[in-house]
Amino acid sequence: MSVLAFDLGASSGRAMLGRLNSRTIEMKEIHRFPNDPVRVGDRFQWDILRLYHEIKQGLLRAKGEQELPASIGVDSWAVDFGLLDARGELLMNPYHYRDPATEGVMERVFREIPPAEIFSRTGIQFLPFNSIYQLVSIQQLRPFLLQEAGSFLMIPDLLRYFLTGEMVSEFTNATTTQLYNPVARGWDDELLRKLHLPSNIFQSVLQPGTMAGKLRESVTGELGLPSIPVYAVAEHDTASAVAAVPALERSFAYLSCGTWSLMGTEVERPVLTERARELNFTNEGGVYGTFRLLKNIMGLWILQEAKRSWELEGVLYSYSELVMMAEAEPAFACFIDPDDPVFLPAGDMPKRIREYAARTNQKPPQTPGAIVRCIMESLALRYRQVLELTEALSGQAFKGLHMVGGGIHNESLCQWTANAIGKPVWAGPAEGSAAGNMAVQWISLGELSDIWEARAVIRDSFEVRVYEPADVPLWEEAYGLFKQRTGGNTIQQ
């Protein structure tokens, strides 16, 4: 039985056709497309109608495969959303989470509601671009949008609405807004009231694996397709990636590695302790009654932006070339805190890294290789730090770390992560989000019994490469230097 997964990342999207044959999954990319945000003046937005167009192209490619999927699912990044009027018309292009309009908004909200209250009601990590702060920013800068709004839909909800005509929200993505109460299991009316945000725009919340409609008549007529069911999968791409972690044991740690790095574990109930808030961990929704206790780490965004900066200077490097250059540089020459806010916006990342080094009394890296080595080593050591905090908060001791996502193609990063944590790294699958998206569809269709059978099938279907730790004493010493040179600030972010 085949299913179709649309997996949208912050820089590209793809349509993946998956076929389940007994105990193995065959996955084929049938359509890939860029997801280029658009800067207009000083605003940064997503080209949502282009993404919808590309989804329709993916449906046509699936039709061309001569095997129509039994169902469809869409996953994407979190926090961003669209507002629609009472007639269901989109009021604006969704803003990009790196749009500058949310600068300072989180601090203004804290003057109205203490952070401890927000965390106790939502369990979500404080990030300046969370949906709650985007909505408050719109309320302050463009209040007429909220006055006209009839519906709030996050990115996969919005695209699913375009396909089906049905407006519903999905659980894993809803939790990332910092407006969903995981204890009450619904939108937090008290937070909405205190922030003067309209509660009527929020839709009912579906759990992953619930059918959310079928292709609407306008789509089937345009594309010549039957009315295929569309499921609410784990629509936050990290939730889908975690669903695909090929773990052998119920207690496991994961790192979803891509533009963002997200590290954590699966828990049965949210961890809402004061310590979790102090460490700025988050409790995002997972599949089948679970929560993802995790922490966002800036991730390979820093490397991606450095590469883009060099391209703007007319110097073109492939990622493999940059990694080879990094491997040739001396080890542990300079460290950054990957989660320092200076690295969040788009811009000249090599300059910011040199400025950070100078500010922390380190010798600034000058060559591209030295800069990339600094980024990768700092990420590996940050991963160790967050893994230790995850163990402390969850009360678990992990035997190793599962890495999934496109970042596992960076073999040096995988090996350096194993060295840094002093434990094995199990890397795979690279297409974790798409595999998790498909797994939820097959469970819903009755082809797989539960998430643990799905994980076993994924483990049997995709290569998982094992990286054993090496040079552990050297990395142990480097860990001490990392914490010293980053001033301990990484613990608090």
> DSSP readout, 354-411?
HHHHHHTT-PPP-SHHHHHHHHHHHHHHHHHHHHHHHHHHHT---SSEEEESGGGG-H
Environment class of 391 (CB within 10 Å of its CB; exposed 0-12, middle 13-18, buried 19+): middle
Q: For residue 137, is it left (φ>0), alpha (ψ between -120 and 50) or beta? A: alpha
Contact 56, 8 (CB under 8 A): no
Do 190 and 258 lie in a common domain? Answer: no
Q: For Cα atoms 109, 111, 115, give the angle at the middle one, nearest 5 degrees.
A: 70
Mean per-residue pLDDT, 117-140: 97
Out of 174, 207, 237, pick the residue that ends a domain.
237
The string of pLDDT tens digits covering residues 160-201 is 999 999 999 999 999 999 999 999 999 999 999 999 999 999
Do 200 and 308 lie in a common domain? Answer: no
> pLDDT class for 125, splitting at 50, 70, 90?
very high
> How many Å apart are CA 485 and CA 336, to the nearest integer?
8
Three-state DSSP at 330 gives coil
Q: Residue 69 pLDDT > 50, yes or no?
A: yes
Mean per-residue pLDDT, 31-42: 94
Is residue 33 a part of any domain in this protein?
yes
Do 145 and 200 lie in a common domain? Answer: yes
Contact 206, 401 (CB under 8 A): no
The string of pLDDT tens digits covering residues 454-474 is 999 999 999 999 999 999 999
Contact 32, 12 (CB under 8 A): yes
467: which 2 tokens? Answer: 């990286």
CATH number, residue 178: 3.30.420.40
Do 357 and 232 lie in a common domain? Answer: no
CA 435 to chain centre: 15
Is residue 339 a part of any domain in this protein?
yes
Is residue 95 a part of any domain in this protein?
yes
Contact 414, 447 (CB under 8 A): no
The string of pLDDT tens digits covering residues 80-110 is 999 999 999 999 999 999 999 999 999 999 9
Q: Residue 493 pLDDT > 60, yes or no?
A: no
Do 385 and 480 lie in a common domain? Answer: yes
**Number of separate domains in the chain:** 2
Mean per-residue pLDDT, 18-34: 95
What distances in angstroms separate CA 370 from CA 175, 322, 336, one per listed residue?
A: 39, 10, 12
Do 305 and 210 lie in a common domain? Answer: no
The string of pLDDT tens digits covering residues 245-291 is 999 899 999 999 999 999 999 999 999 999 999 999 999 999 999 99
Confidence (pLDDT) at 117:
98
Instruction: Report how far apart the first and last C-alpha atoms of the chain are (Å, whole number).
Output: 44
* Percentage above 70 pLDDT, the chain: 99
> How many Å apart are CA 68 and CA 280, to the nearest integer?
44
Contact 343, 325 (CB under 8 A): no
The string of pLDDT tens digits covering residues 336-345 is 999 999 999 9
Is residue 285 a part of any domain in this protein?
yes
Pairing outcome for strands 465-467 and 425-427: antiparallel
Three-state DSSP at 257 gives strand
Out of 182, 209, 237, pick the residue that ends a domain.
237
Q: Buried (b) or exposed (e) across 351-370, using 16+ Cβ within 10 A?
A: ebbbebbeebebebbeebbb
Confidence (pLDDT) at 186:
97
Is residue 167 a part of any domain in this protein?
yes
Confidence (pLDDT) at 489:
46
What distances in angstroms separate CA 145 from CA 45, 83, 85, 137, one per listed residue?
A: 16, 8, 9, 11
Do 255 and 167 lie in a common domain? Answer: no
Per the listing, tokens 């290569």 go with 463
Mean per-residue pLDDT, 16-30: 95
> pLDDT class for 235, splitting at 50, 70, 90?
very high
Is residue 30 a part of any domain in this protein?
yes
Contact 291, 270 (CB under 8 A): yes
Per the listing, tokens 């600094």 go with 374
Confidence (pLDDT) at 487:
79
Pairing outcome for strands 291-297 and 261-267: antiparallel
Confidence (pLDDT) at 22:
83
* Percentage above 90 pLDDT, the chain: 95
Do 222 and 323 lie in a common domain? Answer: no
Mean per-residue pLDDT, 228-235: 98
Confidence (pLDDT) at 491:
42
> pLDDT class for 492, splitting at 50, 70, 90?
very low
Domain region containing 121: 2-237
Confidence (pLDDT) at 488:
58
Do 56 and 74 lie in a common domain? Answer: yes
Out of 181, 214, 237, pick the residue that ends a domain.
237
Is residue 456 a part of any domain in this protein?
no
Do 266 and 360 lie in a common domain? Answer: yes
What distances in angstroms separate CA 313 from CA 5, 128, 295, 363, 442, one per listed residue?
A: 37, 30, 34, 23, 47
Do 231 and 251 lie in a common domain? Answer: no
> How many Å apart are CA 115 and CA 130, to the nearest integer?
14
Confidence (pLDDT) at 62:
96
Give the dihedral sign, CA 433/233/37/222.
positive
458: which 2 tokens? Answer: 């994924």
Active site residues: 237
Average pLDDT score, the chain: 96
The string of pLDDT tens digits covering residues 328-377 is 999 999 999 999 999 999 899 999 999 999 999 999 999 999 999 999 99
Do 227 and 280 lie in a common domain? Answer: no
Phi, psi at 488, each rounded to 5° = 75, 0
